[in-house]
Structure formats: structure tokens, C-alpha cells
Amino acid sequence: MTATLPPTTGPQPGGTQPEAPLAAPRPALAHDWRRIARMGSIAAFGQVFIALSNMPVRLDERLIVKPVLSLGYLVLLILPFAAGYRQGHQIKREGVPTYAPGLNEVVGGLSCGALAGGGLSLLAVLLTHFDLREPLVNWSPILLDLLAFGNATWFAAVIWLVIGGGMGAAGGVLRLLGPRIRRAVVTMALAVAGAAVLESLVVDLAEGLGLETLTDRLYARRGGVNWSSALGLAVVSGLLAVVGRGRFRQARTRVTELEGAKRTQANVGLILLTAAVLIVLPLFAGKLTNELLANVGLFVLLALGLNVVVGLAGILDLGYVAFFAVGSYSAAVLTAATSPKIAPEMPWLAALIVVVIIAGLVGLFIGAPVIRMRGDYLAIVTLGFGEIIRLLFLSDWLSGWFGGSQGITNIPAAGIFGLTDVAGTDPRRVFYLVLAFCALAIYVSWRLEHSRLGRAWMAVREDETVAEAMGINTVNVKLLAFVVGAVLGSFSGAIFAAKVGSVFPTSFLILVSIVILVVVIFGGMGNIIGVIAGSAVLIGVLGGPKQPGLLVEFSEFKLLIYGALLIWMMLARPEGLIPSVRRTRELRQQEMAQDAWLRGEVDDDDGGNGPAGSPSAV
């Protein structure tokens, strides 16, 4: 954007553009007003949708900064701000001048934001004069009250124009700031928001560590960051951001530039450090935090399994929940005394071996018929299989085996060599168990990724025909991906059965598959760290299909947010937050080719002349 970009590490989508000199700022009122009207009204629609979804009312109880800002109001501030910031975006093209940001951006942002806020003003007026509660369940005086801050309607109408305009202008101002200050501002906002979101976690840990005084000062009694400490936090984080600018990146480049043994040492050190933190942390955390960690761990395990199938081999499996279900049910049948038909009451670890074999066989059974289908048919058919498996567990026909809708209850705790029993009543032990399996899954997927098989998967993902021509048996390779994914998923299922103590068909809805898919895509398909980070952020903060996250208030809205997130990720960043290098190259092939062309590095043999070389597989 501006002159002092630090040297980029790794491939940045869009690449480094040739720096064009910035033209003088545009005059304040020279706008494409139609564009502003369009963006503003889209944002206004969004605002009305958010308001009518009951998000503001439901989230109002959760305070971010003690008397000033609640999460409910925060969700109403985001869109005007984003519209105001987005409005100042200039498309950089060869031969089109780029203007320096100036008053123009602020005015544009202001009008965009005011329009967005105007949506709420209009809504407030409509709320007073019409009664649409019949179809719209949240059309209520409570919402009006919230919009008007307890005052009259006209107040709501005016105040939201002002607030929207203010947020939009703030978004415009953000464009004016230099990159250094902008980063500091963003860090400040993120620090305060993060502190508020992580509140229960931080308080819990602080109690364990005996640091109550610190959290008492930071957080208000009934939730939310104190006004004064929020200010302090902002200042500190802002300073850190300014001082520490680029240090982190430098450190990372230094590590990646290390070679041979030193690199390995650094990696081992980093892994040991992470492991130590993860092992020590739960000792100081309370039950709720450990429960949260255990849930996140279960989803990390599932996501790692799906990552092998979707991320490495490029097979879009929408019925992944089937393997989770098979793992759970077979563990339940093998260990529980109450299992209806056969109840061998095996110890959990012994049962796990059988579970793995069963899951592998089911993987083969589901995989074999679908493996030759084209990618999109395969997705729908796996979805069908996922649903068939759930329907079979639910049906009366097999209820003699699996208990039908009653499921299987009283599943005993998982015993580990007679050392401990891992049951849901002690989430800390569950977490350690999950951690051990996650470590195994990470090791397996890391070794597989760099093995002959992993390279074969990636080749199949990039172009099946070429891979076949290179002598890869595509059918077997893809089947193996299915089986590995199934086995990893069944681990998670077996732990889930022991943790919850009962299995019901309703735990294995298709939406579980979709949530895992969102997690994998959000984090970055094909990248182990990305997948782990994705599950930690999404499942930890928003929660899984049935498991609450840190923002418990969001439980009604998390699926909506997952859907929106999936669309947005695909449109804006299909390679995920922490992308795998190869994956990005595949997904951005055209853009990269164009960038190379712009830089003058045309290689005629390498699809350098643009759109012709589009990848045929995901």
C-alpha cells in the first residue's frame, strides 16, 4: 500500500506489486456517489439483519469494556466501520493512478457509515409504527429500547445516524494513518477485545496461579474489562506494537533461515516448549477451562483427520461425521455393559484397537464406491453416506444393536493401563488423553505429508490425470487417504464416547461435518498448524455444534456465523488464515502468474500467459 512495506516472507497472495508513485489526494467531495450508496445500503441491510437476528439484545449482557460497550452494541458498530474502511479501498491496476489517502476517504467513510447507521434509524421508526412480530420473532419493544438507549424513537433515529457516521469516518481515518500507527491501533483494539473474550479463561487461570489481584483489577465484578484497565491495556499493547514492530517477523525469518541441525534443534525446542505449556496449563485451570480445552482437542483431532482427506488428498468428504459416529458407537458397544446386543465389556484401550480396525474397514467400504466419482459428486455421495450411517444407528431395525434413538448409555470411563480412568467428570484427564492422541495425529500427518504417500496425495490433488501418468495408483492412494482420515476420526469418536458416557444418533448430524470443514478451511487446508489454530480459535471462542465456547452468548448464532465465515473465506481467502505454501500456489495460480508477468519474470512454459493455466482440481 505505502512505501515502507517490510520484506514479505512466504508467498503473499497478490504478490509484491511494482510500486507506483502516489498521486495527490483527491478532493474531499469527489466521489463515486453511486458506489457509496450501494455499499452503504448493503451495510444498512446487514445492520437491520443483525438487529433483527436478536444478536444485539442477546449479547448485550456480555460487557466488553465496563460501563461503555457491550458485545451487543459492538456487533452493531462493526459494519459501519468496515463499510467506511472498505470505501477508501483503491483498486491497484497497471496504468491507473493510486491516490494518497486524504480527506476524501474520511468523507466517503462518513457517508457510507451514516447510511449503514441509517438502516437502524429506519428500523427504529418502523419498530414503533408497525407490528411485525408474527413472522419476525425478534420484532420487539426490547429491541427498540436497546436501539434508543432507553429514550424516544427520534433519539434512536438520530443517534444511529451519528454513530454510524462516526464509525464510518473512523474507518476512513484508519486509511490516513501510517502503517505503523495503523498497526498499533489495530493491536490496541484486538488486545482489549481479546482480553474481554478470554475473560473466563484468564480469570480461571489466574485463580489457579494465585494472581487474583491482577484479574480483579483488570475485570469488573460482573464481567467486562474495567474502563481504566482497558485504557491501560490499550496503551501498553499499542506501545508494544510500535516498539516490537517487525521483531517477531525477524525472529521467525531467523528461525526459518537456520539450516540443518540447528533448525531441527530450534524446532524441537519450540515443540517441547508448546508441549510443556499444554501439559502444565491444565493443572492450574479449573473444570470449565479444562472442559473447553478437551472439546477443542476433540475437534483438533477431527480436523486433523479431515485435513488428511480434504487438505492433503483434495477429496471433499462431507460425511466425515460418519467416522466419528462409527468410532463412538463401536467404542460404546465394545466397552459398555449396557450395550443391547453384544457387550464384551472390553477395556477401553483394547477396544480402541478394534475400533481402529472397524473404522478403517468402514473407510474402505465408503471410500471404494465413491473414489472414482468426480469431486463434486463425491462430496454429495459422502454426505449421503454420512446421513445413511446416522439413520441406521437411529433406526428400529438396528436398535437391537445400537439402541435406536435411546442410544447407548452408561459407557464406562476409559482406563489407561490401569493407571487412571478417564471420564467426563474429570475434564483434565480427558484433555491429557486428547492431547496424547492429538500429538499422535500431528506426528502421523506431519510424517505422512512428507512421505512418498503424502507427495502422491498432493500430486493427485493438483492434477489426477498427470499424477496417474506419473505412475501413481490414484485409486489406492485416495483410498488410503480415506482410511487414514477414518482412523483419525474414530479416535476422536472413541474418546468422545468415554468422555460423554453415552452416545445418541443426534450427536452425529451432518452439521458436525460442516463445522469441521469450516474449521479446516478457516485455519488453512493442508497446513497442520493452520488446522490446529483454526479449531482452537473457532471451537474455543464460538463453540462446536453442541459444545459451548468462550462466548457462551453466541451459541444461538454460531452456526449462522460459521456459514457466513465459510462464504467469506471462500471469496476472500480460500487458502485459509495460515495457508500452506503449495495450496496457495494452486489456488492462486492465475494471480501469481499475472504478478510474475508484471514483474517481468515471464516464463512461457509455465502458464505465464494467464488464465489458460487454471488448475483442474482443488
Partner 1 sequence: MARAEVRPVRRRARKSRTGVDWFLTIMRVAAITVIGLGLLAFIAQEINTDNPFAQWANPDATGLTGAQFQGLIISGVTQGAMYGLIALGYSMVYGVLGFINFAHGEVFMVGAMTGMITSNKLADAGLWESNFVGSLVFIMVVSILVCSLTAVIMERVAYRPLRGSPRLIPLITSIGVSFFLQNASVVLLGPAAKAYPDVPDWIRTKHTFLDIEGAKILVILVAAVSMICLWYFVERTKSGKAMRAVAEDAEIAALMGIDVNRTIVKVFALGGAMAGLAGILWGILFRSVIHTTGFLPGIKAFSAAVVGGIGHLGGAMAGGLSIGVAESVGPLVILEPLGVSGVSQLRDAVAFAVLIGVLLLRPAGLFGERLQAEDRT
Binding site for partner 1 (CB under 8 A): 49, 52-55, 134-138, 314, 316, 318, 364, 368-377, 379-381, 383-385, 387-388, 391-392, 394-397, 399, 473, 475-476, 479, 510-511, 514, 517-518, 521, 556-557, 559-560, 562-567, 570-571, 574, 586-587, 611, 614-618
Q: What is the DSSP string of 454-475?
A: HHHHHHHHH-HHHHHHTT--HH
Q: What is the DSSP string of 21-79?
A: PEEPPPPTT---HHHHHHHHHHHHHHHHHHHHTTHHHHHTTSEEETTTEEHHHHHHHHH
The nearer residue to partner 1, 132 or 349, going by C-beta atoms, is 132
The nearer residue to partner 1, 135 or 418, going by C-beta atoms, is 135
**Nearest to residue 304, comparing CAs of 583, 453, 458, 490?**
490
The nearer residue to partner 1, 68 or 552, going by C-beta atoms, is 552
**HEC letters along 553-607:** HHHHCHHHHHHHHHHHHHHHCCCCCCCCHHHHHHHCHHHHHHHHHHCCCCCCCCC
Q: Closest separation between CB of residue 200 and partner 1, Å?
A: 24
Cell numbers representing residue 340 in the block: 443391547
Q: What is the DSSP string of 72-128?
A: HHHHHHHHHHHHHHHHT-----TTS-EEPP-HHHHHHHHHHHHHHHHHHHHHHHHHH
Q: Closest separation between CB of residue 369 and partner 1, Å?
A: 6
The nearer residue to partner 1, 437 or 557, going by C-beta atoms, is 557
The nearer residue to partner 1, 139 or 219, going by C-beta atoms, is 139
Torsion sign (Cα): 77, 83, 86, 88? negative
The nearer residue to partner 1, 289 or 535, going by C-beta atoms, is 535
Q: Closest separation between CB of residue 144 and partner 1, Å?
A: 17
- Dihedral (Cα; 268, 271, 274, 278), 10-degree rounding: -120
Q: Closest separation between CB of residue 67 and partner 1, Å?
A: 28
* 319 and 513 Cβ atoms separated by less than 8 Å: yes
The nearer residue to partner 1, 136 or 271, going by C-beta atoms, is 136
Return the amino acid letter for 80. P
Q: Closest separation between CB of residue 263 and partner 1, Å?
A: 33
* 91 and 14 Cβ atoms separated by less than 8 Å: no
Q: Closest separation between CB of residue 321 and partner 1, Å?
A: 14
The nearer residue to partner 1, 395 or 410, going by C-beta atoms, is 395
Q: What residues contact residue 239 under an 8 Å CB cut-off, 6+ apart?
A: 184
The nearer residue to partner 1, 380 or 577, going by C-beta atoms, is 380
Pairwise CA distance, residues 201 & 211, whole Å? 13
The nearer residue to partner 1, 139 or 491, going by C-beta atoms, is 139
Return the amino acid letter for 416. I
**Nearest to residue 404, comparing CAs of 413, 412, 395, 417?**
395
Q: Closest separation between CB of residue 567 and partner 1, Å?
A: 4
Cell numbers representing residue 313 in the block: 488428498
Pairwise CA distance, residues 475 & 457, whole Å? 11
Rg of the chain on CA atoms, in Å:
27
Q: Closest separation between CB of residue 108 and partner 1, Å?
A: 22
The nearer residue to partner 1, 207 or 591, going by C-beta atoms, is 591
Q: Closest separation between CB of residue 367 and partner 1, Å?
A: 9
Q: Closest separation between CB of residue 278 and partner 1, Å?
A: 31
Pairwise CA distance, residues 474 & 453, whole Å? 11
Q: Closest separation between CB of residue 359 and partner 1, Å?
A: 17
Residue appearing with cell numbers 516464463: 603
